[in-house]
Amino acid sequence: MASNLNKLSWLPFFFFFFITISFAELCNPNDKKVLLKIKKAFNNPYILTSWDPQTDCCHWYCVKCDRTTHRIISLTIFADDRLTGQIPPEVGDLPFLQTLMLHKLPNLTGPIQPTIAKLHNLKFLDLSWNGLSGEIPDSLSTLKNLFILTLSFNKLTGKIPSSLSELPSLGGLRLDRNQLTGQIPDSFGYFAGEQAPDLILSHNQLSGKIPSSLSRLNFTSIDLSRNKLEGDAFMFFGANKTIQILDLSRNLLEFNLSEVVFPQSLTSLDLNHNKVFGGLPPVMTELKLQYLNVSYNRLCGPIPVGGNLQSFDLYSYFHNKCLCGAPLGDCK
């Protein structure tokens, strides 16, 4: 009986120990201080209400901790028009951060914070759909683990930094819907990675010729639409190319489509609103095209019969010099 009483006497201790372990804070104190500074810089928005200094920051909304080290590895704040201010320099003081997403925050203004370049573990950087302005900092090229860089739908100006080609892990680059000027960097034909990244540079004010150096690489997806690009687009075509999606629409490109060698991988081609001349080569019937638009160009001659070419409506072909045949009118 006494033995059982002795065992029972230990129960309060074990209960206390269990409660202590259960409520022990996992969050790194330095990370917590940084997050609270970020919250203050953003004027304590409602979306960060859970960021209570009395609670464990690993349980806060918009953040994620590593399961082993309990360091902050993800900060994702999105879709809040009540968040105001600029990107605070403290974002660079989360050294284990792998994902930084500040997305659809229309009142997030000012430049891209230079201290982001300190985040050497960063793999995903998404600063899209904000009110950011200024130039893209060269220092982003130091983020050697970066896989996705998305800066689209902002008010960024200036030239595209040529140093972005030095990112060895880059799999996708989205700079679309800004106010970028100048030429596409020649260095984009020399990306450091094993595979060329998807390039989305549309809806800017880029000008000049597309660099011939891009012919060195095999891209999967390219969107250069709605710019002021001139000249040829030979660098994306060829029997050995692996490109699947190519959008060069609404530029000033001028080349002979009859001489193009189409890769069999091509599934989507948009050339509308350019100065492309020549005709549609019969080999296009062999392509497994899911989308095609060559309208508003200077093409002439019959549309080849076969493949998927007749599956597209007349709006894919109209407003050319003398293109004819189904789905357009008969050739005369």
Cα–Cα distance measured from residue 170 to residue 140, given in angstroms and rounded to the nearest whole number:
12
199 bridge partner residues = 173, 222
Count of CB atoms within 10 A of residue 102's CB? 22
What string of pLDDT tens digits covers the 332 residues of the chain?
Answer: 545 545 445 445 444 444 333 456 799 999 999 999 999 999 999 999 999 999 999 999 999 999 999 999 999 999 999 999 999 999 999 999 999 999 999 999 999 999 999 999 999 999 999 999 999 999 999 999 999 999 999 999 999 999 999 999 999 999 999 999 999 999 999 999 889 999 999 999 999 999 999 999 999 999 999 999 999 999 999 999 999 999 999 999 999 999 999 999 999 999 999 999 999 999 999 999 999 999 999 999 999 999 999 999 999 999 999 999 999 999 98
> Tokens 């989360």 belong to which residue?
94
Cα–Cα distance measured from residue 165 to residue 187, given in angstroms and rounded to the nearest whole number:
6
Give the range of the structural domain holding residue 299, as residue numbers without chain letter: 225-331
Backbone phi, then psi, for 88, in 5-degree steps?
-75, 150
189 within a domain of the structure (yes/no): no
Chosen domain end from 174, 202, 236: 174
Query: Residue 285, class by beta-carbon neighbours within 10 Å (0-12 exposed, 13-18 middle, 19+ buried)?
Result: middle
251 within a domain of the structure (yes/no): yes
CATH number at residue 80: 3.80.10.10
Nearest to 27 by CA among 70, 67, 63, 62: 70
Chosen domain end from 147, 174, 201: 174
Cα–Cα distance measured from residue 117 to residue 105, given in angstroms and rounded to the nearest whole number:
21
